[in-house]
Structure 1
Amino acid sequence: MVLEEKWPVLGRHEQAARWLRIWTDLGRAPRTIDAYARGLAEYLDRCERENIDPMEATREHIAGHVRELTTRPSHRGVNVLSIDSGSGLANATIQQRLVPVRLFYDFLIEEGQRESNPVGRGRYTPGRRFGGHQRGLVPRLTKLPWIPTDQEWLAFLQAAKLESPRNRVMLALAYDAALRREELCSLRTDDLDPGRRTLRVRAETTKNRYERVVPYSASTGVLLSGYLRHRATISRARGPLFLSESRRHYAQPLTLWSWSKIVRQLAIACDLPRFSTHTTRHLCLTDLARMGWELHAIASFAGHRSTESTLRYIHLSGRDLADTLQRGMEQIHAWRVEQLAQLAATAAGQA
């Protein structure tokens, strides 16, 4: 098994390897399996270092693993969003690392090899106060998405003008259609409908397996036409829309990691280190909210299962809130003045 070659510790724990094989056989995405294997391997490595039998682990042992994750140095530097250490992995990363450990113990319970799961999860508990929700093992921090200011966005686009036709149209589509990185890189030539200026986002490339059809603007259509002519000089075969132009992988599908590297280099050039492949999606959904789109329409456009997910993506800046408040106060003030005018008119009539 390839995963056991990458993480030898999995081969030393039969039940762990078996659990991952089941998930693989069920057709889970390779990236999901890889993330599960990494998280579980990290936990099993610690168990071996601390002489802990994973089959007998308790909540105390899991807490020790969480403590190690929160204090582990991050290659991105100090992370102020960890639980209380001021360093270590990000809260979202810790949550991701704990998911496979929790699911592994769920599997052991189903197999009759354990009676309880030492990894806590937030769940509904009848009879409890404050809505009856029990907290998970690690508090989940929810951050507002970062979006660039108008000046920062213009600076980024100015740098992008020097990019290849492929990179320019990818940035345009990423914003216009609010595409996730995998959705963008997985587009195929037959997903395009230039006549209607729409593209199909196939279910197998989406996060929640929901297929959708989204439009793109006329300016993006011009960029796309130019890229298709350029693509024909690389390959005339139908298939993946975006092709690599490097010597090593010429005419091969552009990978997710290559696209991330391209955006990262542009972000550094513009001194915008927080700009990522997901920023264009955040910005598009925020702009739709600013234009007054209904929440359900934005959720459908974004491919969200529920509007709760959409709310986490919509970021209204302090300036937007201030403008909204000012407009509201102006309406209230005008209404009060109108009522006072009517009162004055009534008093004059009575006199």
Structure 2
Amino acid sequence: MQFPLLFVYPHADSWLTRQQELGLAPNTLSAYARALLDYFAFCHARQLDAVTVTVEHIATYLHDLATRPVTRAGMPVRYGLANATKHQRLVALRLYYDYLVEQGVRETTPLTRGLYAVGRHAGVGKRGLLPHYHALPWIPTDAQWGAVLTAARQESIRTRFMLALAYDAGLRRGELCALRTEDVDPTHRLLTLRAETTKSRRARVVPYSEPTSLLYAAYLQRRRELSRARGALFLSESRRNQAQPLTQWTWSKVVHALAQRAGVPHFTTHTTRHLCLTDLARAGWELHEIATFAGHRSLETTLAYIHLSGRDLAAKLAQGMDSLHAWRVRTMQDLLL
């Protein structure tokens, strides 16, 4: 467990161990652990017993999540965590308190389920404990993407190859960093994503482009200088961890630094996936084809990624209006007969 501090808190260690034994994805397990650490810090600062808190204390914690200052290098201070992050924290706490009830530590959970009236009358304007917001994924403009590529030219061959591959195959950060040498088929330019490395726990095979294939060949030469053993495709080049598998956290740091140099602070390890799937939609791919390519279980998930920018919508509107105008002009010719 990479969060040893949790072992001093009531039943957190046993709950996380159970989640791990049940096969929870490593990324999700880490997110739940971070959620508990944040919550326990909140309780400690207010001298609250995490075992005996009430729903009022939970409401105070949610208010804290919604109002605390959030800083990120290169970006102005904003207040409140992202809606998805708050829901993730809430899920972790709900599961944790369900576990305490199951173990007989508490009689009931302070995180009640159901809908809450937000209007003047019960039954009107109801929502959950936290509202759900569905924001569109951010994608860079052509100029911003060009700035990122320009900055990437100064990076190592490993970083350039990873960036290209992440876009080509629409990979999540975890899928990219978990790739092994045997997962790449250079002859047919295909990647095999093993079920245990994907979020949906479903294997899939995806293609990559010829330019990325050339980067792959160049990277292999560099990789052989670090290690000739089969195994993790991407290896660390640092002195401390040389030739060890590259971690997701290291890749996040690399991309963050790249985004800062490019002057595009919103660019993250997930941006390439958003951009790839949106480009496939622009290219005319069917929704179910994009879902298969992305490894989504439901089309609703795919719809959250596939969106057209205002510029795209404006172009479609102009095209549609031109067609409509031409049709209407033709119908008016009948008046001349």
Q: Normalized against structure 2, the TM-score is what?
A: 0.89
Instruction: Decide which structure has the larger Cα Rg and report it.
Output: 1
1:252 aligns with 2:248: no
- 1:120–1:321 Cα change, 3 Å: farther
1:216 aligns with 2:212: no
Q: 1:247 to 1:42 in 2, by over 3 A?
A: closer
Judged with a 3 Å threshold, the aligned counterparts in structure 2 of structure 1 residues 7 and 56 are, in CA distance, closer, same or farther, namely closer
CA shift, 1:253, in A, is: 1.0
Equivalent residue for 2:33, pick from 26, 32, 37: 37
Residue from 177, 184, 187 that aligns with 1:192: 184
Distance 2:201 2:102 in 1: 27
Once residues 229 and 248 of structure 1 are traced to their aligned partners in structure 2, the CA distance between those partners, rounded to angstroms, is 21
Task: Pick which of 20-29 and 153-162 moved more.
Answer: 20-29
2:54 to 31, 54, 58: 58
Amino acid at match of 1:70: A
Q: 1:68 aligns with which of 33, 43, 64?
A: 64
CA distance in 1: counterparts of 2:47 and 2:260, whole angstroms:
44
Contact 1:44 1:54 in 2 (8 A): yes
Deviation at 1:52, TM superposition (A): 4.3
C-alpha separation in 1, matches of 2:104 and 2:76: 42
- The answer to whether the 8 Å contact 2:277/2:306 transfers is yes
Residues 325 and 229 (structure 1), Cα distance of their counterparts in 2 relative to 1, 3 Å cut? same
Q: Which runs of 5+ in 1 are unaligned?
A: 81-86
Question: Which residue, out of 306, 309, 312, partners 2:304?
Answer: 312
Q: Which amino acid aligns with 2:159?
A: N
Aligned length: 330
Give the equivalent residue in structure 2 for 1:288. 280
Q: For residue 344 of structure 1, what is the aligned residue in structure 2?
A: 335
Structural mapping, 1:83-122, within 5 Å: 87-111=79-103, 114=106, 116-121=108-113
In structure 1, C-alpha distance between the alignment counterparts of 2:113 and 2:159, rounded to whole Å: 41
1:272 matched to 2:264? The reply is yes
The CA distance in 1 between the partners of 2:100 and 2:174, in whole Å, is: 32
| C-alpha spacing 1:339/1:116, structure 2 compared with 1 (3 Å) | farther
Q: Which amino acid aligns with 1:221?
A: S
Contact preservation (8 Å) 1:159, 1:266: yes
Displacement of 1:27: 2.7
Whether contact under 8 Å (2:237, 2:243) holds in the other structure is yes
Query: What is the DSSP-based 3-state SS (H/G/I as helix, E as strand, rest coil) of the residue aligned with 2:205?
Result: strand
Alignment partners' CA distance in 2, 1:307 and 1:28 = 23
> Would the alpha carbon gap of residues 135 and 110 (structure 1) be closer, same or farther in structure 2, given more than 3 Å must change?
farther
Moved more, 44-53 or 186-195: 44-53
Sequence identity, in percent? 56
Contact 2:25 2:199 in 1 (8 A): no
Post-superposition offset of 1:336 = 1.7
What letter corresponds to residue 196 of structure 1 in structure 2? H
Structure 1 residues 257 and 337: CA distance shift in structure 2, 3 A? same
**1:264-284 deviation line (CA, Å, top 9, x unaligned):** 111111111111111111111
SS in 1 for 2:71: coil
Report the Cα offset of residue 79 of structure 1: 5.9
- Of the candidates 322, 325, 331, which is equivalent to residue 317 of structure 2? 325
Could you tell me which amino acid in structure 1 is paired with residue 205 of structure 2? Answer: V
Amino acid at match of 2:209: S
Alignment partner, residue 243 of structure 1? 235
The equivalent residue for 1:83 is: none
Looking at structure 2, the residues matched to 315 and 191 of structure 1 have their Cα atoms a distance apart, in angstroms, of 30
Deviates more, 1:46-55 or 1:327-336: 46-55
Normalising by structure 1, report the TM-score. Answer: 0.85
Structure 1 residues 306-337: Cα deviation after superposition (integer angstroms, max 9, x where no partner): 11111111231111000111111112122222
Matched, 1:164 2:159: no
1:17 aligns with 2:13: yes
Q: 1:18 to 1:190 in 2, by over 3 A?
A: same
Residue 167 of structure 1, CA deviation:
1.1
CA positional deviation for 1:102: 0.6
Kindly provide the CA deviation profile for residues 36-65 of structure 1, in whole angstroms up to 9, marking residues without a partner as x.
Answer: 233224334444554545454332121011
CA shift at 1:185, angstroms? 0.9
Cα RMSD of the aligned pairs, angstroms, is: 2.5
Q: Is the 8 A contact 1:120 1:136 kept in 2?
A: no
Give CA deviations for 1:93-144 in whole Å, capped at 9, x if unaligned.
2222211111122234444655644324567xxxx978xx952211122221
Alignment of 1:111-190 (within 5 A): 111=103, 114=106, 116-121=108-113, 135-190=127-182
Q: Any conservation in 2 of the 1:7–1:38 contact (CA below 8 Å)?
A: no
The one of the two structures with greater contact order (alpha-carbon pairs below 8 A, sep at least 6) is 2
